[in-house]
């Protein structure tokens, strides 16, 4: 895969704060936050712990932020950072689709958000189609966060595709936790959504990846239809491979390729002509897929 430049820069050297060290941080953050604009962890919500990230790096916290506004409704001296914003997206009402009885296909897009993701969202909206986006944390961090919010607002599902897109089985267990936890935190902060799906980069998983996924409440979503769109960047080939899917299939694509996005209208037309509904993973499995378990899709 191709990743654009790392917008997070120094985030490459994480150091998790948890347990005792987090408590120390909380002690200091209140007085410090009232003097400085510290990004991320200063909202009243964060202080009561309801959206606390699994991991927080000093580098993230030190990132310059828009100046927080004082919110009179939140008590004396309360600071509203963008964790407490009231512009978090609202998902459309959940649909009840019985994929046991009608033809469903789950289109999935990995590795973004990227330059072609917004045009892809325009296309999906035009067809009333929902999809699942397995996002890479460092791709989303910063400018991509508004795209995450749009995905949620338009009924798409978000899944965790790690922070850096490594081969997870090569990492230590704590590094696996960090990769998943950081992206989990970013999406929660940007959208208010707690993801329940993950996809291991390259489809590489093992018992430790399964254990960490289970710990974070994430089902492991693989696929049964691979468009190989990263290799064959030709819209007609991508559309043909995608439409080989049968009912209940999970189709793997990547929204970082222009050719993939160009393939989407024709594959949507083809599937629609065959009576398919375009569903998210949670819709495909009729609720919450089991954390840690692997799902491949398929008839
Ligand atoms: Ni990937």
The per-residue pLDDT string of the chain (299 residues; one tens digit each, 9 = 90 and over) reads 444 433 333 333 333 333 334 444 444 443 443 333 333 332 332 323 333 333 333 333 333 334 333 333 333 333 334 444 667 999 988 888 999 999 999 999 999 999 999 999 999 999 999 999 999 999 999 999 999 999 999 999 999 999 999 999 999 999 999 999 999 999 999 999 999 999 999 999 999 999 999 999 999 999 999 999 999 999 999 999 999 999 999 999 999 999 999 999 999 999 999 999 999 999 999 878 999 999 999 87
What pTM was computed for the model?
0.73
**Catalytic residue from among 156, 161, 165, 254:** 254
* CB neighbourhood size of 166 (10 A): 16
Distance 169 CA to ligand 1 centre (A): 14
87 is catalytic: no
Centre of ligand 1 to C-alpha 269, Å, is: 26
Distance 153 CA to ligand 1 centre (A): 23
What is the Å distance from ligand 1's center to 112 Cα?
9
Q: Which CATH architecture has domain 103-295?
A: Alpha-Beta Barrel (3.20)
Contact 150, 299 (CB under 8 A): no
Candidate list 110, 111, 229, 255, residue with the active-site label: 110
Give the DSSP letter string of 113-135.
--TTHHHHHHHHHHHT---EEEE
Ligand 1 mean position, distance from CA 250 (Å) = 15
Contact 61, 82 (CB under 8 A): no
Residue 165 annotated in active site: no
Radius of gyration of the chain measured on its C-alpha atoms: 20
Q: Which residues contact 274 (CB under 8 A, 6 or more apart)?
A: 103
């Amino acid at each position: 895969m191709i990743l654009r430049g790392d917008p997070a820069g120094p985030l490459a050297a994480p150091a998790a704060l948890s347990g005792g060290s987090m408590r120390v941080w909380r002690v200091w953050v209140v007085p410090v936050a009232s003097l400085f604009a510290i990004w991320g962890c200063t909202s009243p919500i964060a202080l009561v712990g309801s959206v606390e990230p699994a991991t927080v790096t000093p580098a993230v916290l030190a990132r310059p932020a828009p100046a927080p506004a004082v919110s009179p409704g939140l008590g004396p001296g309360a600071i509203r950072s963008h964790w407490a914003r009231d512009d978090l997206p609202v998902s459309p009402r959940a649909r009840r689709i019985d994929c046991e009885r009608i033809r469903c296909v789950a289109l999935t897009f990995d590795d973004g958000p990227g330059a072609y993701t917004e045009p892809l969202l325009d296309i999906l909206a035009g067809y009333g189609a929902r999809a699942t986006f397995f996002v890479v944390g460092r791709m989303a961090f910063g400018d991509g966060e508004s795209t995450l919010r749009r995905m949620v607002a338009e009924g798409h599902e978000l899944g965790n595709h790690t922070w850096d897109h490594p081969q997870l089985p090569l990492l230590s267990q704590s590094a696996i936790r960090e990769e998943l936890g950081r992206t989990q935190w970013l999406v929660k902060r940007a959208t208010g959504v707690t993801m329940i799906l993950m996809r291991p980069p390259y489809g590489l998983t093992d018992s430790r990846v399964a254990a960490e996924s289970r710990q974070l409440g994430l089902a492991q979503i693989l696929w049964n239809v691979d468009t190989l769109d990263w290799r064959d960047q030709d819209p007609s080939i991508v559309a043909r491979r995608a439409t080989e899917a049968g009912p209940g299939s999970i189709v793997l694509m990547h929204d970082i390729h222009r050719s993939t996005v160009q393939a989407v209208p024709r594959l949507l037309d083809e599937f629609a002509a065959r009576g398919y509904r375009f569903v998210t993973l949670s819709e495909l499995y009729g609720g919450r897929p089991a954390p840690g378990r692997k799902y491949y899709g398929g008839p």
